[in-house]
Amino acid sequence: MTKQDFLFHLQGASFIALKFAERYVKDKLITDFKYNVIFTPSHHTIYPDHFDFYPKDEGTIKLNLTDNEVVDLLYRNNKIPIWIDINVIKSSRKSTTFNLLCAGRYSNNKEEFYYKDNGSAPFGIKSPQLPINYKEGKKFGL
């Protein structure tokens, strides 16, 4: 995947995640996007020779990034995380913010990306965090 392709996938996943979130939240969601990148453990001892790993990133969170900043941060040696879960976390009058929870394993092999069967690879579209005692069909504020 090229850097430009990765940007295209990020932007597409963002619009899909926004539309998905609109089913759940009362807030007006704006199409000026910001991102929080959350790095998960890499599990580099399980797959030591198969993927690229960046163990120093584990537990790191980068806040309020633009789409281009996300691509610059995550696109490394022509590889990207094999999965990235995306969900709306916050809305303001100026922007909608997404959390991007990222795998610690990087690859350039599309067959290794999660969510490839639904066409959003490597992005997994997730709902906003549901409040305690959430009732199906009742919208809530972020």
In a domain, 141, yes or no: no
* pLDDT attached to residue 44: 59
Mean pLDDT of 30-53: 83
In a domain, 133, yes or no: no
In a domain, 66, yes or no: yes
In a domain, 25, yes or no: yes
Torsion-angle region of residue 27: left (phi > 0), alpha (psi -120 to 50) or beta?
A: beta
User: What DSSP line would sit under 31-44, residue for residue?
Assistant: SSEEEEEEEPP--T
In a domain, 131, yes or no: no
In a domain, 106, yes or no: yes
* Dist CA 122 CA 142 (whole Å): 25
Model pTM? 0.92
Q: Tokens at residue 29, please?
A: 């969601």
E strand residue ranges, 47-95: 52-53, 61-65, 80-81, 84-91
In a domain, 114, yes or no: yes
What is the DSSP pairing of strand 61-65 with strand 123-125?
unpaired
Give the range of the structural domain holding residue 34, as residue numbers without chain letter: 3-125
pLDDT at 21 > cutoff 90: yes
Instruction: Report which residue type is found at 134.
Output: Y
Domain count, the chain: 1
| 78-99 pLDDT per residue, tens | 999 999 999 999 999 999 999 9
Token pair 């969510």 is found at 115
75: helix, strand or coil: coil
**Mean of pLDDT over the chain:** 93
In a domain, 27, yes or no: yes
- At residue 45 the predicted structure's pLDDT band, cuts being 50, 70 and 90, is low
